[in-house]
Structure 1
């Protein structure tokens, strides 16, 4: 039976409008003055997360069952600001769909709404801890052909044309591996993540949730490979 999507689409245009204004006035005084707008935007984004959670728990990741949107949504406040970052708030609203919640030590699925084409849908594991990264590298070393077949899968690349993000990588071979290893290009990675950006016009379409889920489905075998390594 095909999945049924909500008959009452969420108002993501309201989310984009709020985040656009927040980016132009990213300080506490403005947020305090516009707190009702923030709550309204967060309500609409929560509706998107709730719809995706319902669908993903039924057809993508059974381990999501029993979780609430609040277990998946990231805070808009920045918790790791440096002295060079004067902005107290993120410019997006995001969520991580993983069994155990957004911070669990597993690969999973992500969606963040941000105006100006910054909205992205992603899957995999970004910046795993050293011990988790070591397990993933070991699995690639042991099961190279399987890994390469997954990352080069035509359905995955249809939704994520850039493939695995290679922007975060070691400059040399990780400890325990030779620089001449045939898989060294991939063993050097520090994240194993695919993502695709969406323009604002696509975000406000009534089928946006369906497109997110379709992209996640394409990444499901890769996510399963990463989680198998972690287990």
Structure 2
């Protein structure tokens, strides 16, 4: 098994996104899913080895369901056109994960908080109000900027959040509703023999960013 077969399956699924097709190809899906879970298990061991604060996340816990939630999104296809996995998941759920997304349209590694709920968003803004300079130093580090781009969903506030002044020195950050970064991947990179090593390298570079955000919501 390999990432070649994973992408082949996702391309076929995209062309035949129906329960009938999945039922006919369920054995193939489970073979690919089980292989990917094993690959994630190996990555999990490596991440735990390099980070004392890493939360053990076996592949079976990390991998996301391939079914779309049609109850809340009835117009979406039955199945996703990608496989997603969140590593370094905390038991209490109060942590931004290290997310790997492998899909037919795009593949990437991301981390942080995407449109978090109000309580988490308030905590992130409190941290930036108290010490936004440290956060900006992380974002402006040369190697970090070369590795990631900040996810901008276009949903930032037009004015200052309640309780903050318009002339706050970090008003550009306080207006944000998403605190996350992304590193895009080509299929060629995913198919390469050193893909696991690349994931580890990206994890290391993202670590201070995630540590800042995770501290903000737990302190």
Same fold (TM over 0.5): yes
Structure 1 runs of 4+ with >3 Å offset: none
Give the aligned CA root-mean-square deviation in angstroms: 1.8
SS in 2 for 1:93: strand
- Matching residue within 38, 63, 82 for 1:73: 63
Q: TM-score, normalised by structure 2?
A: 0.91
| Cα displacement (A) at 1:17 | 0.6
> What's the counterpart of residue 98 of structure 2?
109
Distance 1:210 1:125 in 2: 24
SS in 1 for 2:182: strand
Q: Return the TM-score normalized by structure 1.
A: 0.87
Instruction: Point out where structure 2 has 5 or more consecutive residues left out of the alignment.
Output: none
1:188 CA drift (Å): 1.4
Q: CA deviation at 1:27?
A: 1.3
Aligned counterpart for 1:37 among listed residues 24, 28, 42:
28
The equivalences for 1:1-231 within 5 A come to 11-60=2-51, 62-65=53-56, 67-79=57-69, 81-85=72-76, 87-100=77-90, 104-116=93-105, 118-160=106-148, 162=149, 164-167=150-153, 168-231=155-218
- Deviation for aligned residue 1:61: 5.3
CA distance in 1, matches of 2:207, 2:193: 23
Q: Which ranges of structure 1 fall in alignment gaps of 5 or more residues?
A: 1-9
Q: Distance in 2 between matches of 1:39 and 1:61?
A: 32
- Is the 1:96–1:109 contact (alpha carbons within 8 Å) kept by the matching residues of 2? yes
